[in-house]
């Protein structure tokens, strides 16, 4: 399967003979959600971007950021991350033969993401601080050293991520609203750009976790807190652009509580058969709490795979049933 750059080269800043670092990202499923549709009285679709090669939407941006870094002759890449960017950067850097360093908040990233970054051979630095501090530090570091910064402040990241908007419209033709979790605010900005290039402007509904909702309260959050560790961010890098995207599309930015996020996370798994990570479920939690705002057709972006965060899943799910190895015991265990 070809990757994004090959598929959308005419709309991306890459020439025919540029180097391409790809893992076959993009082309992710967009599935109808019957249960949610009935609950919110709209036609709800789920964009399963957790099915990308490293399990999150970051791969869309990373194929572009790492390809551009190779084109520019970079030998090393770096990012600050709540986990998914780190996993993606590590994988694409490994593929390209580049050195990779990732700076993550110590003890605050999901187990699967840490395992990925380490397995792909990145230098993983556990910062005794939060994501916002990590991003400030990598920006300062890349000012002093010739290392390519692959956070979403990198122009190529958003270029790659805008392709998700293309894919949704290729399948649905029309869309009234897009519901999306917001952390560092790169992805909502990318969708806005993608829709804009198609000449359309579906309403953008951005959702933040209550304890990490700077865009909702209108000021930085010094100590962001949420179970949705991927969006535990208090000072989004794309703040103004994200607000502009929501205003221009007549959208909104609202907060959802951790318990609403977890309820949506369980509901998606149990009723729609879709296992996403907690941060992704914020898009559905927002829709359930605030409604579809009159939109007839809505797409929720499920940004990361549920397997990224096995600890939260095991804490939220029911327990296993122990069983002796004989038919009577198995019968009782199975039939209850």
In the complex, minimum distance from the CB of residue 330 to ligand F0G, in angstroms, rounded to a whole number: 38
List the structure tokens of 323.
């069983």
Identify the three-state secondary structure at position 45: strand
In the complex, minimum distance from the CB of residue 201 to ligand F0G, in angstroms, rounded to a whole number: 19
**Which residues are within 8 A (CB) of 182 and not within 5 positions of it... i.e. 6 or more apart?**
188, 206, 207, 208, 215, 231, 236, 242, 253
What span, in angstroms and rounded, lies between the C-alpha atoms of 30 and 173? Answer: 13
In the complex, minimum distance from the CB of residue 333 to ligand F0G, in angstroms, rounded to a whole number: 35
What span, in angstroms and rounded, lies between the C-alpha atoms of 163 and 102? Answer: 25
What span, in angstroms and rounded, lies between the C-alpha atoms of 72 and 268? Answer: 42
For ligand F0G, which is the closer residue by CB, 142 or 152?
152
For ligand F0G, which is the closer residue by CB, 43 or 281?
281
In the complex, minimum distance from the CB of residue 187 to ligand F0G, in angstroms, rounded to a whole number: 3
Q: Which of 143, 178, 156, 237 is nearest to 46 (CA)?
A: 178
For ligand F0G, which is the closer residue by CB, 58 or 254?
58
In the complex, minimum distance from the CB of residue 166 to ligand F0G, in angstroms, rounded to a whole number: 17
In the complex, minimum distance from the CB of residue 334 to ligand F0G, in angstroms, rounded to a whole number: 35
DSSP state of 249: T
What span, in angstroms and rounded, lies between the C-alpha atoms of 31 and 51? Answer: 12
User: 117 and 101 in contact (C-beta within 8 Å)?
Assistant: no
Q: Which of 284, 289, 279, 334 is nearest to 312 (CA)?
A: 279
CB count in 10 Å sphere of residue 211: 17
For ligand F0G, which is the closer residue by CB, 28 or 152?
152
For ligand F0G, which is the closer residue by CB, 67 or 88?
88
For ligand F0G, which is the closer residue by CB, 43 or 47?
47
In the complex, minimum distance from the CB of residue 270 to ligand F0G, in angstroms, rounded to a whole number: 20
- Rounded to 10°, the helix 84-96/58-71 angle is 40
What span, in angstroms and rounded, lies between the C-alpha atoms of 310 and 312? Answer: 6
What span, in angstroms and rounded, lies between the C-alpha atoms of 181 and 229? Answer: 12
User: 284 and 36 in contact (C-beta within 8 Å)?
Assistant: yes
For ligand F0G, which is the closer residue by CB, 43 or 60?
60
In the complex, minimum distance from the CB of residue 328 to ligand F0G, in angstroms, rounded to a whole number: 45
For ligand F0G, which is the closer residue by CB, 67 or 152?
152
Give one DSSP letter per residue of 125-139, joined into a string. Answer: EEESS-HHHHHHHHH
In the complex, minimum distance from the CB of residue 44 to ligand F0G, in angstroms, rounded to a whole number: 18
For ligand F0G, which is the closer residue by CB, 84 or 116?
84
β-pairing verdict for 43-48 and 30-32: antiparallel
- The binding site for ligand F0G (CB under 6 A) comprises 56, 58, 81-85, 152, 181-187, 230-231, 277, 279-280, 303-304
């Amino acid at each position: 399967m070809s990757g994004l750059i090959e598929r959308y080269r005419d709309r991306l800043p890459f020439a025919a003979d540029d180097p391409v670092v790809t893992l076959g990202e993009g082309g992710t499923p967009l599935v109808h959600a019957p249960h949610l549709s009935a609950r919110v009285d709209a036609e709800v679709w789920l964009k399963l971007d957790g099915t990308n090669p490293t399990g999150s939407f970051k791969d869309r941006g990373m194929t572009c950021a790492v390809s551009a870094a190779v084109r520019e002759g970079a030998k090393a890449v770096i990012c600050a991350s709540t986990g998914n960017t780190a996993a993606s950067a590590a994988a694409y850097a490994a593929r390209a033969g580049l050195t990779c360093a990732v700076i993550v908040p110590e003890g605050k990233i999901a187990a699967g993401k840490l395992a990925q970054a380490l397995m792909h051979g990145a230098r993983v630095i556990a910062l005794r601080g939060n994501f916002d501090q990590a991003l400030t530090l990598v920006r300062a570091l890349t000012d002093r050293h010739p290392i390519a910064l692959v956070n979403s402040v990198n122009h190529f990241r958003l270029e790659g991520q805008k392709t998700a908007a293309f894919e949704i419209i290729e399948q649905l033709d029309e869309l009234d609203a897009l519901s999306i979790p917001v952390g560092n605010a790169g992805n909502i900005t990318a969708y806005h750009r993608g829709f804009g290039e198609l000449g359309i402007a579906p309403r953008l509904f951005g959702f933040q976790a209550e304890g990490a909702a700077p865009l909702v309260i209108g000021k930085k959050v010094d100590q962001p807190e949420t179970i949705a560790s991927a969006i535990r961010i208090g000072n989004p890098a794309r703040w103004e652009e994200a607000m502009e995207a929501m205003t221009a599309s007549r959208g909104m930015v609202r907060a959802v509580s951790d318990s609403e996020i977890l309820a949506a996370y369980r509901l998606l798994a149990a009723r729609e058969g879709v296992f996403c990570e907690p941060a992704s479920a914020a898009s559905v939690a927002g829709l359930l709490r605030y409604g579809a705002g009159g939109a007839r057709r809505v797409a929720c972006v499920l940004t990361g795979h549920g397997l990224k965060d096995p600890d939260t899943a095991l804490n939220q799910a029911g327990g296993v049933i122990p069983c002796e190895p004989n038919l009577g015991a198995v019968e009782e265990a199975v039939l209850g």
